[in-house]
């Protein structure tokens, strides 16, 4: 199994993923990570993160925050009657 | 910033090795392999150094981190034991299922040493992962830091109750469930507070 690295750029306010760049090389991915952070330094509305897994689908399960629905308000779950 | 980035890059190879070990532990535990890794964001590294000024960067335990999402507590226990057996250097273990964080956060965290660096492993059940995602979503949308156990009791109170309710539902017998009415009242308090605050702009 080889790890796929994804450099995610997420817009916190719009709650949308702006980009997910895929890398097979860990070195290239980490270099791009540093560059992206430098390019967006001080932009607090953006979250830039380097994650890796066997697929983007796995990342949806492990890092679901970056794949949210784009609704401006977060729905707080109720406790359904049991 | 260049230095911090270069320092962080050193964690990538040991992190990938630890992830391979974690994947194998999950497979052996006969659970679906839902495992991912992440290198800590520089702003989070800086926040942590600011919060804990005495912290030595080289001993920061989660610059390289990985996470397994598991179907239930039995799988978490099996994976945990497997990791303890296959890894000679488990530096620390925090069982937040036994002692949840003030926010209500639950998981098992283990820090292992690999190639002279520290890597954090998080073992979460699916419902704990949903809860943690909710907290991150609220933090992002409203510009809060609930993730760090900081914030208004109006919201933290609801999150704590929700976490307990989920445990009671999915890990029956281990916890007393808060009633639906109690939880939904707490939810309304949280919703009112968040509405007053408004989404960050």
Q: Which of B65, B105, B120, B133 to mutate to test the interface with A (most CBs of A within 10 A)?
A: B133
Predicted confidence at residue A15, as pLDDT, reads: 87
Per-residue pLDDT of chain B (201 residues; tens, 9 = 90+): 778 888 898 898 899 999 999 999 999 999 999 999 999 999 888 888 888 888 877 778 889 999 999 999 999 999 999 999 988 799 999 999 999 999 999 999 999 999 999 999 999 999 999 999 999 999 988 889 999 889 999 999 999 999 998 888 887 655 567 788 889 999 999 999 999 988 765
What ipTM goes with this model? 0.91
CA dihedral of A56, B82, B56, A48, whole degrees rounded to 10: 10
DSSP string, A1-38: -PPEEEEEEEETTTTEEEEEEEES-HHHHHHHHHHHHH
pLDDT computed for residue B69 by the predictor: 98
| pLDDT profile of chain A (82 residues), mean per 10 | 91 90 95 94 90 96 89 78 50
Of A51, A58, A72, which has the smallest distance from its Cβ to B34's Cβ? Answer: A58
CB-side exposure of A32: number of CA atoms within 13 Å? 19
A-chain residues within 8 Å CB-CB of B23? Answer: 1
pLDDT of amino acid B175:
56
Q: Is A7 on the interface with B (CB under 8 A)?
A: no
Q: Do B183 and A38 touch (CB under 8 A)?
A: no
Check residue B84 and give its pLDDT.
Answer: 94
Give the residue carrying structure tokens 């630890």: B18
Q: How confident is the model at residue A39, as a pLDDT?
A: 93
Quote the minimal CA–CA distance from B98 to chain A in Å: 22
B38, A29 contact by CB (below 8 A): no
Q: What is the pLDDT of residue B131?
A: 96
Of A15, A62, A81, nearest to B34 by CB-CB distance is: A62
How much is the pLDDT for B169? 82
Q: Tell me the Ramachandran region of residue B33: left when phi exceeds 0, alpha when psi lies from -120 to 50, beta otherwise.
A: beta
Of A48, A63, A78, the CB nearest to B41: A48
């Amino acid at each position: 199994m080889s790890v796929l690295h994804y450099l995610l750029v997420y817009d916190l306010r719009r709650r949308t993923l702006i980009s997910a760049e895929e890398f097979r090389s860990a070195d290239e991915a980490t270099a791009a990570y540093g560059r992206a952070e430098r390019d967006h330094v001080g932009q607090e509305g953006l979250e830039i993160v380097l994650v890796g897994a066997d697929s983007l689908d796995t990342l949806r399960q492990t890092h679901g925050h970056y794949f949210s629905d784009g609704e401006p308000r977060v729905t707080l779950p109720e406790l359904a009657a049991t | 910033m260049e230095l911090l980035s270069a320092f962080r890059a050193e964690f990538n190879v040991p992190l990938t090795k630890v992830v391979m070990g974690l994947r194998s532990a999950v497979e052996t535990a006969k659970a679906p392999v839902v495992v991912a890794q992440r290198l800590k964001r520089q702003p989070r590294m800086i926040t942590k150094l600011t919060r804990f000024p005495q912290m030595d960067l080289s001993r920061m335990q989660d610059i390289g981190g990985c996470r397994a999402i598991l179907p239930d507590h039995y799988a978490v226990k099996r994976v945990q034991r497997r990791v303890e057996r296959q890894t000679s250097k488990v530096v620390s273990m925090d069982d937040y299922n036994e002692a949840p964080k003030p926010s209500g956060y639950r998981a098992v965290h283990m820090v292992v040493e690999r190639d002279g660096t520290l890597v954090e492993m998080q073992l979460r059940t699916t419902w704990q992962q949903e809860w943690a995602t909710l907290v991150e979503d609220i933090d992002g949308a409203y510009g809060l830091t609930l993730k760090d156990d900081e914030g208004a009791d109006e919201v933290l109170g609801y999150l704590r109750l929700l976490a307990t309710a989920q445990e009671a539902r999915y890990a029956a017998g281990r916890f007393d469930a808060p009633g639906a009415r109690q939880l939904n009242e707490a939810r309304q308090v949280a919703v009112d507070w968040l509405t007053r605050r408004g989404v960050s702009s």
